[in-house]
A and B are shown apart, each in its own frame.
Chain A
Amino acid sequence: MSPQNAGPTEHGVQFVDPTQMDLVEEGLRIMAFGGKVPTGTTPKDVVYTRNKTTLYRYRSSNRRHATPILFVYALINRPYIFDLRPESSFVKFLIDQGYDVFLIDWGTPGWEDRNMDFDDYVGEHLPMCVERMFRASGAKDYTLFGYCMGGTMTAMYAALHPERMRNLVCLTAPFDFTDTGLYGIWLEDRHFDPVRLAEGLGNIPAELIDVGNMMLRPVVNYVGANVTMWDRLLAGKDMTSFLALNKWVKDGVAFPGAAFVQWITQFYQQNLLMKGEVTVKGEPVDLSRIAVPLLNIAGENDHIATPSQVAPLNEIVSSTDKTYLLLPGGHVAMLVGAGAQKGLWPKVLAWLDERSD
């Protein structure tokens, strides 16, 4: 605010510089409707679709590696977090480094998808996407890269279908649900009944999932984020990155009802994955069967998938080549934050370069 325009109002309080009223309007609009900036702009082709699932391909113009990377994100939120903005796009970074990149978008489930669970996603859609990736790329092997719940799903898949898998990378993916922090308290079976919720709602609305995530750190998420927004806006700083992330946070996807019930009961309430008792299409998922090179990454400040949930994967797998990285940052900032380009990205790249054709 410029001092020459500052001055008390008739009530003795200065609210805002009149010349900045457009900024105030913009700020209120952001608070109400979220950020509106283009995201996911790296060119891509649709390789395959099945129900709401879409497999995309990002072609590298200077391809130097024969081993493609297949990204798998969570069933909730959108996978364009991998390609948020050109300056913060992990996908763009990798294709610039000569990798052929594929990405699975699970899409937005409809009422007809409320009975879909991990049998469908891990047991049917994921294998189909892998097969179609091979057909499109002509590759002989691939790197499977899962993020958040997508990391849990990729590890399950790797345990069941190690064929032609060269590497497995899991980014902030929970595996051990012994200590899940606030989630563990809220989701205890004596307090929370996921079956009742799914029967009532069909698919679990994104807004409800978002409230759960935001309530993990309510002061930072509800107040701090807005303070940051107003601070940047009124100071005339570039808002693009903030708006892109803000848009992504508010652009959630409903959780398919049956998958939600499975996720809460079998993972959060009973911790069956670490016990080898989760099944996909009737086959037990035994994580100790994972033998491919593994890169498992956790964030020091991650409240959604805490390091204590992430790290145990390295103890259970059979891989002789396995790396656990604990990096600064939170669940999302680690991938798209200001430090990602000097932190996570080059570390993943170096690891992949050593293990890819």
Chain B
Amino acid sequence: MSTTPPPNPFEAFKAAYDQAAESWSKSMEQVLSSEDFAAAAGRMVARYADAQEALRQAAEATSDQLHLPTKDDLARVAELVLNVERKVDQTTDQLFEFVQSQAGAASAQLLTQISERLAALEAAFQQLARTSAQSPPPTPAPPAPAAAKTPPADPAPDSRARARPTPSRRAAPKE
């Protein structure tokens, strides 16, 4: 008995396919590109469409007799929902445009206010500068009380900057 296994059917089929695919394709293309095929396919599709329409009409008539909603009825409800959706979209768009325009107007108003306040501040500084230039130099300030000069016994390094109150405040008696 031979130990050689018989050929694998799939391998054999694959080999046959690889060898014949091109010629099969050409043969099929000849058939598919013929007027006869196109006419037959067209007739078949038309019959299929007619059969489907007849089936649908029969189903609708049956549903009507049984007082059940038909596909058309459900579609009409869906169309109503779609109309609502369209209106929601339109409202959303209008709201978006309104918000955009309001945001734009608000931003412009805010900018105007900031500009005006900046201009007022600038004028005040200029006025202050002019006043300072015209007034005599200030007299030296009187020496602060001795207690006020004494630093805290052991100030925390990180609190030194913020815990540096004015002398008068530090000297204020506690109530």
Contacts and interface: CB of A to CB of B under 8 A. Distances in A.
A128 B86 CA distance: 11
Contact of A112 (B39, B46, B82): B82
A220 interface: yes
Contacts of B48: 200
A259 to B, nearest CB: 16
B49 A197 contact: yes
Contacts of B8: 1, 6, 14, 16
Contact of B33 (A185, A196, A199, A217): A185
Contact of B9 (A15, A114, A227): A15
Interface stretch (B73-81, B101-109, B131-139): B73-81
A12 interface: yes
Contacts of A114: 75
A51 interface: yes
Contacts of A51: 82, 85
Contacts of A128: 89
Chain A: interface secondary structure? helix
22 contacts: A1-B8, A3-B5, A14-B6, A16-B8, A16-B10, A50-B85, A50-B89, A110-B75, A111-B72, A112-B76, A112-B79, A131-B93, A193-B42, A197-B45, A199-B49, A200-B52, A201-B52, A219-B21, A219-B28, A224-B21, A227-B17, A230-B10
B6 A13 contact: yes
Contacts of A191: 38-39, 41-42
A348 interface: no
A84 to B, nearest CB: 26
B10 A186 contact: no
A341 B6 CA distance: 42
B5 A219 contact: no
Given A15-B9, A112-B79, A231-B10, 19 more contacts: A3-B5, A12-B6, A13-B6, A14-B5, A51-B82, A111-B75, A131-B93, A182-B29, A186-B41, A191-B39, A193-B42, A199-B53, A200-B48, A200-B50, A200-B53, A215-B32, A219-B21, A223-B21, A227-B13
Nearest to A131: B93
A236 interface: no
Contacts of B46: 193, 196-197
Interface string B7-29: 01110011001000100110011
Contact of A201 (B17, B49, B74): B49
B71 interface: yes
B158 interface: no
Given A112-B79, A193-B42, A219-B28, A8 B5 contact: yes
Given A51-B82, A200-B48, A6 B35 contact: no
B100 to A, nearest CB: 10
A218 interface: yes
Is the interface on chain A under 10, 10 to 19, 20 to 34, or 35 or more residues? Answer: 35 or more
B57 to A, nearest CB: 10
A220 B52 contact: no
A203 to B, nearest CB: 11
Interface string B109-123: 000000000000000
B95 to A, nearest CB: 12
A112 B78 contact: yes
A119 to B, nearest CB: 14
A12 B9 CA distance: 12
B19 to A, nearest CB: 12
Contacts of B79: 112
Top 9 A-B residue pairs of the complex, sorted by shortest distance between their CB atoms: A200-B49, A191-B42, A6-B5, A112-B78, A112-B75, A200-B53, A219-B25, A191-B38, A192-B42
A188 interface: yes
B32 A218 contact: yes
A275 interface: no
B42 A224 contact: no
Given A51-B85, A112-B82, A185 B25 contact: no
Contacts of B125: none
B98 interface: no
Contacts of A182: 29, 32-33
Interface string B56-69: 10000000000000
